[in-house]
Structure formats: structure tokens, C-alpha cells
Structure 1
Amino acid sequence: MRRAPLVLASKSASRRAMLDAAGIAYRAVPANIDERAVEREWSGGEGDHVVAGLSAAKALAVEPPESEAFVLGSDSLVVVEGRRFDKPGSREEAAEHLRFFSGKTLELHAGAALVQGGAVCWHHHDMAKLIVRDLSDGLIARYLEAEWPEVANCVGVFRIEAMGVHLFERIEGSHFTILGMPLLPVLAALRRFGVIEA
């Protein structure tokens, strides 16, 4: 029996790398949505609701090449002391974010949604907590010298698989969630819907 194809509604290198490493066949088609506009729709919501809405919006925005295809949308969001943070718009803004994160707990929310036939058939949310070290201005400057502009596309201004690991004292939660997608629940859903072999 032919399995339904999978489309990843993302241009994220880390999400593609996760699926590649897991041996999942898919086609990547970046979603063309105004993420900030979607976030504004959920402005009063908690982090889990926002990432659920963004993940579903991304998946719904992609027209799959085959009608039976499943579209996987995923998104992540950082919350520190109740304040939500987007990707930094400049190196100066990245430094401001890091100064605010210093000595605090960073909540990283990651969501995923599967869409088939224009309807959401599955969604999931997970959260990891990352306890940030006390970051001096000198450390922030050295860090951004090494990691900018790569971290410009990273919510939280870090790549955990690179120099970003030096920003934290302790991490609680799934490594995959920190990379930007709750991979184990995604794989379970793909098995459940017959996209990959059980």
C-alpha cells in the first residue's frame, strides 16, 4: 500500500535535520505566512496556544502536491518572565534579548501540527526550561561575535548545538523541543496516520 507523502511547511534547517536524521522522507515547502500577524491574533494566549496556532497556520498555508499528503507545521517561541520574544531583528536587539535573559529561566515552547485535506488532524505542544547563566556584557559581545548572524534566525538567540550551549547553567526538557520541534510525538503521529511504518 502506498503511504501518504509528507510535506514539511518550514525552511528551518534544524527541523529538516531532525527529519533527515530520523530517515523520514518528506518535501520541504516553506509556509508563506505573516508569523507576527498570527501571533497578534493570539496576543492574550499562553505560549502553548501561540505555538499551536502558528504550527497549524504554517501547515494550512501550504498547498500539498498530492491531495492525500500530510503537511507538518512546527514553530517555537521563547517566554521569559511572562514576556514573549521573537527572533532578533538586529545584532543590537539580540544583545538586548540576551541581557534580559541573564540569570533568568527561559521557557522554550515548541509545537507541531499535522494537516490533511485542509484540516488539522493532530497537534502537540511541549516546553523546555533553560536556566540562563549570568551573562556579562563582555560575554554577550564575544558570543555574538562568534554566532552572529547565524542566531538571527533563532528564537532565543541561540543554537544549542553550537556556542549557545555556553549560555546555560541547566536545561530541563527534550533536546528535540529545544531544537524547535517535539520530534518523538511527531514520529508517533506519523506512525499513527500511516505516513511511516509502525
Structure 2
Amino acid sequence: MQNKSSSPLLVLSSSSPARHALLARLQIPFSIASPDVDETPLPGEPVIAMVERLAEAKAKKSAQQFPDALIIGCDQVGTLDDHVLTKPLSYENAVRQLSLISGRRVRFFTGICLFNAKTLQLQRSVEHYDVFFRRLSEGMIENYLQKEKPLHCAGSFQIEGLGISLISRLQGDDYTTLIGLPLIRLTDMLNKAGWPVP
């Protein structure tokens, strides 16, 4: 096992402020990279395969910039039955999504990859977390979107903000999975890679 002073630099390959805040909770030094990766699903690609592939692609993309680093890549999607919930990007799409998930269960899949760019060692996992939504009236949806504006969030809500008010119940092993960086699984991966936490 290495000590952290002799370990590679740790890099979070994500532009998400929520993921930055989550990783900071582990109290280990890290840098941030913003990978430019095409997130378009492949034809017929299952959701689990997609988030796993994209998490790895983001980690490997940042390896070009940090060739000696230990790199964390992540990707997340929400699903309603077999329908993938994307980032709405517009107010109209957000209204449509929240109306669709009203009173229903949404399952979020989060892919995580820890890639050692120097040794090419790779660890991957896909975690899931279930969110059960309240029945949402038009007024609730409009008020929420005006206050939070979650247009770049899968499913059109932010659990770490006012979005919690839209939810009746949560179910899963690690709620940080829902925010986008499964810290329990990541801690296991870091320990295996020689970065003991705590």
C-alpha cells in the first residue's frame, strides 16, 4: 500500500459542483478536470452499459491531461420504466419531465470508474438509487422550477436543494449515488488502489 505523498495525483473528471463537494467530504487532496465526452447513447445500448462506458470514457479523457494520475470518472442517468430521463435544458422540457414522474418511482444509475493512468489499472461499478415522487400539481412544478431552475440536472430536480420537497421516499444503499458520486463504492476503490480512506 502506498502512502498518499507517493501516490499519483487524484483527479475528479467532472465539472459538477455537487460531485466536487461530495469528494471533498473524504478530506483527501484532489484536482478537477472537465472532460469533453460525447454522451450520446449507442444504438440499442442498455442504460447500465452506457453509464459504465461514459464513466470510463471521462476518466480516460482526463488521463490525456494527467498521465500519471489516479482519475475518477462518473456518469448518471435517471430512468422511468424503460424511458431515460435526460437533462431538460429548457423550462418546457423540465415541466414535461416533472409531470411525467409525478407520483412515480425513478431509478437513477450512476457509473463510477477509477483509472490509474500510469499503470492502466481500472475499477468500474454501476450503482443505483430509487426516488419516489409525490403527486405534483402544475403549481408545485412551476414554483419549484422558478426557484431552483434545475435545467442541467437529469430528471429536472436537485436532491441536494429544494428538490427534496418533491419526494415522498428514497430507497437505496448509498444516497450519495443519487447526487452523482457513490462515496461508499469510491472509498472501496481508493482503498484497493492504495489510497486508504480515512
- TM-score calculated relative to the size of structure 2: 0.90
Residues 66 and 32 of structure 1: CA distance in aligned 2, closer, same or farther (over 3 Å) = closer
Amino acid at match of 2:7: R
Q: 2-side partners of 1:69 and 1:26: how far apart? A: 10
The secondary structure found in structure 2 opposite 1:153 is coil
The alignment status of 1:140 with 2:144, answered yes or no, reads no
Partner of 1:87: 87
Identity over aligned pairs, percent:
28
Query: Offset at 1:71?
Result: 1.2
1:75 is paired with a residue whose SS is strand
Give the number of the structure whose residues are more often helix, by fraction.
1
Q: Secondary structure at the match of 2:63?
A: coil
Say if 2:9 is the partner of 1:8.
no
SS for the counterpart of 1:152 is coil
Alignment match, 1:180: 180
Alpha-carbon displacement from aligned partner over 1:74-126 (angstroms, at most 9, x marks no partner):
01100002100111120110010001111111011111001223746100111
Counterpart residue type for residue 180 of structure 1: G
Alpha-carbon deviation of 1:181?
A: 1.4
1:167 aligns with 2:154: no
Question: Aligned-pair distance for 1:65?
Answer: 5.1
Deviates more, 1:187-196 or 1:86-95: 187-196
In structure 2, C-alpha distance between the alignment counterparts of 1:115 and 1:95, rounded to whole Å: 38
Between the aligned partners of 1:100 and 1:147, the Cα distance in structure 2 is: 19
Alignment-derived partner of residue 39 in structure 2? 35
Distance 1:170 1:197, change over 3 A: closer
Instruction: Kindly report the root-mean-square deviation, in angstroms, between the aligned alpha carbons of the 2 structures.
Output: 1.7
TM-score of the superposition, structure 1-length normalised? 0.90
Q: 1:75 to 1:185 in 2, by over 3 A?
A: same
Q: Distance in 1 between matches of 2:28 and 2:164?
A: 27
The 5 Å alignment of 1:89-168 reads 89-117=89-117, 119=120, 121-148=122-149, 151-168=150-167
CA distance in 2 between counterparts of 1:67 and 1:50 reads: 25
Gaps of 5+ in 2: none
May I ask how many residue pairs the two structures share in their alignment?
192
